[in-house]
Chain A
């Protein structure tokens, strides 16, 4: 029985690694929900920071939920960290970040899909790493994914994604 369980675990790990090799390079839309603010002046501080990112074509802001939707130029090579750094420069934090990828995928080992979903939305993922979810959510996720070494390592260049 133990032997079978071990094989299942190895099999699951192999699937994760396989899927990770399909993850992508180019993001064409990002939805960021910021934490720690409720005022329009604070939202404006984040907006002005996000605006400085090269290859951001336009930004749509929902002031009531503090959600910023960024539409990116198809020449961009931006990573989730580029957006997170800007939100933090404004004095706030990222509570959730959803990435929409261009349909053309290329291999990138830094993007690791650790949560899959049946009937997932095509090419849409949530970033699960520390600093990309609220502190409360990260505590739960750290327990759930404690066996994924790259997740607990919190390497800034690795991004762990969940299908949506």
Chain B
């Protein structure tokens, strides 16, 4: 399994060499932050299929605030239709990201950031996979590296996730190690003319997890298309599918639809 993951990483690394990328990914965050004083609102909708064909709908609205150019805060709420009786609010999370290194040049940058998420959730858990974004109560702490060169972006994240034991499920493993690799490329326009021009990015993300203290792993792939409208609004459409898994997961495959709007300079 590890050889497969390393192989995928080397493969993705190779195909991006000599190319150059866009970094506003659908399932992972870049090391860059929002501008200071700006507020973003985001609606993340995921429609994931259970093995029996039942559709789980997750609605995860998010409020984002650029407190400082190096520091941003997200507050996110989680609701889902997993339990009978329609959409039920299940929990929320607080996410802080701090950008601590920027090596910028004309049309390129390399940036590093550290982040922390704490989530409280009362959803019932029927899987071994750990996910503090929408399912588990717990902490996640991680590092992000982003390389942007011309029209291409490459993003690498690694994080440690530990869940609290308060939820209604039988926890065998409560610690996980996550790793992601994302690649994005601006495909339209070839040449910018004005701010109102719609931009289109194509992206692919690999997302993996190892449950610490076990040989249990998964690796997912998520291709996506992103539309940036009026230089202020994002619409992302993605599909996430498991490439490999030897752990129990309730609904790993499905579509994701994400909307985001940025209010610049609400606080000068």
User: Which residues in A have their C-beta under 8 angstroms from that of B104?
Assistant: 35-36, 92-93, 95, 134-135
- B203 at interface, CB cutoff 8 A: no
A43 to chain B, nearest CB (A): 7
User: Which residues in B have their C-beta under 8 angstroms from that of A41?
Assistant: 24, 199, 228, 231-232, 234, 262
How many interface residues does A have (CB within 8 Å)?
30
A91 and B32 contact, Cβ closer than 8 Å, known pairs A37-B109, A135-B103: yes
- B106 at interface, CB cutoff 8 A: yes
B260 to chain A, nearest CB (A): 10
Determine the residue in chain B with the shortest Cβ distance to A62.
B192
> Which one of A9-17, A47-55, A97-105, A108-116 is at the B interface?
A47-55
> Which one of B35-43, B75-83, B114-122, B216-224 is at the A interface?
B35-43
Most buried by B among A35, A63, A91, A136: A91
A153 to chain B, nearest CB (A): 23
Q: What band does the interface of chain B fall in when counting residues whose beta carbon is under 8 Å from A?
A: 35 or more
Q: Mark B75-106, 1 if CB is under 8 A from A, else 0.
A: 00000000000000000000000010011111
Contact of A63 among B66, B148, B193 (CB under 8 A): B193
- B59 at interface, CB cutoff 8 A: no
A95 and B105 contact, Cβ closer than 8 Å, known pairs A48-B265, A63-B192, A64-B192: yes
Task: Please state if B228 and A89 are interface contacts (CB–CB under 8 Å).
Answer: no
Interface positions of A from 76 to 124, Cβ below 8 Å from B: 88-93, 95
Q: Mark B201-244, 1 if CB is under 8 A from A, else 0.
A: 00000000000000000000000000010011010000000000
Bound Cα distance from A39 to B146, whole angstroms: 15
- A7 at interface, CB cutoff 8 A: no
CB-defined A-B contacts under 8 Å, sample of 20: A33-B106, A35-B106, A35-B108, A36-B109, A36-B111, A39-B24, A40-B197, A40-B228, A41-B234, A44-B232, A44-B264, A63-B193, A63-B195, A88-B69, A89-B36, A89-B69, A91-B35, A91-B36, A134-B105, A134-B106
Name A's B-contacting residues (CB within 8 A): 33, 35-41, 43-45, 47-49, 51-52, 61, 63-64, 66, 88-93, 95, 134-136
- A38-B22, A41-B231, A61-B195 given; 8 more Cβ-contact pairs under 8 Å: A35-B106, A38-B186, A40-B195, A45-B34, A52-B265, A63-B195, A93-B104, A95-B106
